[in-house]
């Protein structure tokens, strides 16, 4: 099965009332662990790469590793998505590379740190949408800014999404999915106490733009057991809290359809490798400890797919190609 436009995956999630995990990937073991979970649970999945991941892998490796995942799992709809594209050129490069979806984060300037105003966001987002839709590629935009910084992205300031502005933004740009700022945060060190998310923002936007696929960034739960494993085997992570799964599930019920997860995967990998090397001090074969990391990713992601109610939906629909989507956009 060729890679699927993310728009179809999210539109089907809207119809089915479930969430789809968008898991950040940087290497083969992460992709293999995620795909094993998707295959066993029969879940559609979004594999996403940040600009940091593209630099780490020298850009081409991500493309071909995800293509391999698609060939090995022909029954699973897979979208390859650019996470937090910072400018038109970055989005253009990944579209030409074969990504089926891109995010243009017009809420921040090209430095990925300085907030933009509404008009600036509209201009850059519309430019990416016009280019992407010519090739059938999905576009995710963002309105508002999250707390925290991860992979070099974030202003560190929270600017919640205004529902009325969201309506105008969608009308002016034509985006396929909209990332909201409802009080979540990037990174491992999200909150000192359980966050109170502004879930009413989801309700308001769903009432004004029914059926619009909404995106939840900064959605890792930062499970305490993963922090404990890391610290038990030489780590020094401070106590922190992520977004409780109950809050994520409530957000899904209200209309969140794409749920971004990065930090939890990193924590699972780090804990597994630290534990293995501690328990096997004479081991030097990278396949041994990377194999443990792959298993940890699989276990973490499989749980997410169940919690997001994604399981069993991989065979609900006949996947479209970019060419199919191109025709839909250009009618």
Question: What confidence category does residue 51 fall into, taking pLDDT thresholds of 50, 70 and 90?
Answer: very high
- Give the model's pLDDT for residue 8: 98
pLDDT score of 233:
97
The rounded percent of the chain whose pLDDT value lies above 90 is 83
> Residues 170-224: pLDDT tens digits?
999 999 999 999 987 655 544 555 667 899 999 999 999 999 999 999 888 889 9
- Which backbone phi and psi does 180 adopt, to 5 degrees? -110, 155
Residue 82 to residue 102: CA distance in whole angstroms: 4
pLDDT tens, position by position, 85-129: 999 999 999 999 999 999 999 998 888 888 899 999 999 999 999
- If one counts every other C-beta atom within 10 angstroms of the C-beta of residue 97, the result is 14
Question: pLDDT tens for residues 219-257?
Answer: 888 899 999 999 999 999 988 878 999 999 999 999 999
List active site positions: 83
Least confident of 102-106, 129-133, 141-145: 141-145
Return the pLDDT at 183. Answer: 84
Cβ proximity of 3 and 79 under 8 Å: yes
59-72 residue pLDDT tens: 999 999 999 999 99
pLDDT of 101 reads: 98
- Residue ranges of domains in the chain, CATH in brackets: 6-221+242-264+308-326 (3.20.20.70)
* pLDDT attached to residue 155: 47
Is residue 56 predicted with pLDDT exceeding 60?
yes
Q: For the chain, how far is it from start to end, CA to CA, in angstroms?
A: 25
Six token digits for residue 35: 């795909």
Which has the closest alpha carbon to 151: 66, 231, 214, 220?
Answer: 220
- Report pTM: 0.94
Q: Within a 10 A sphere around the Cβ of 326, how many other Cβ atoms?
A: 16
Mean pLDDT to the nearest integer, 124-138: 98
Mean predicted lDDT score pLDDT of the chain: 92
């Amino acid at each position: 099965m060729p890679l699927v436009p993310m728009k179809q995956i999210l539109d089907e999630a809207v119809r089915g009332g479930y969430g789809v995990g968008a898991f950040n990937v940087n290497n083969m073991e992460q992709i293999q662990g995620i795909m094993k979970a998707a295959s066993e649970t029969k879940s559609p999945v979004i594999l996403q790469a940040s600009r940091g991941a593209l630099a780490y892998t020298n850009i081409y490796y991500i493309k071909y590793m995800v293509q391999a995942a698609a060939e090995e799992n022909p029954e699973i709809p897979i979208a390859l998505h650019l996470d937090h594209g910072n400018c038109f050129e970055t989005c253009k490069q990944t579209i030409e590379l074969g990504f089926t979806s891109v995010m243009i984060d017009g809420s921040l300037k090209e430095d990925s740190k300085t907030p933009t105003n509404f008009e600036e966001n509209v201009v850059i987002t519309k430019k990416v949408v016009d280019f992407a839709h010519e090739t059938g590629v999905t576009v995710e935009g963002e309105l508002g800014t999250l707390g925290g910084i991860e992979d070099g992205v974030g202003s560190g300031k929270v600017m919640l999404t205004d529902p009325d502005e969201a309506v105008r933004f969608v009308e002016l740009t034509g985006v396929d999915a909209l990332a909201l700022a409802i009080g979540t945060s990037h990174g491992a060190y999200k909150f000192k106490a359980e966050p109170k998310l502004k879930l009413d923002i989801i309700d308001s936007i769903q009432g004004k733009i029914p059926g619009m696929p909404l995106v939840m960034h900064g959605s890792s739960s930062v499970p305490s057991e993963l922090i404990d494993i890391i610290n038990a085997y030489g780590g020094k992570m401070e106590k922190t809290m992520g977004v409780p799964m109950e809050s994520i599930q409530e957000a899904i019920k209200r209309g969140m359809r794409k749920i971004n997860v990065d930090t939890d995967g990193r924590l699972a990998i780090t804990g597994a490798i630290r534990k293995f090397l501690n328990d096997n001090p004479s081991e030097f074969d990278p396949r041994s400890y990377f194999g443990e990391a792959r298993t940890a990713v699989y276990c973490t992601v499989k749980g997410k797919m169940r919690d997001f109610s994604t399981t069993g939906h991989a065979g609900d629909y006949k996947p479209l190609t970019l060419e199919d989507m191109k025709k839909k956009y250009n009618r």
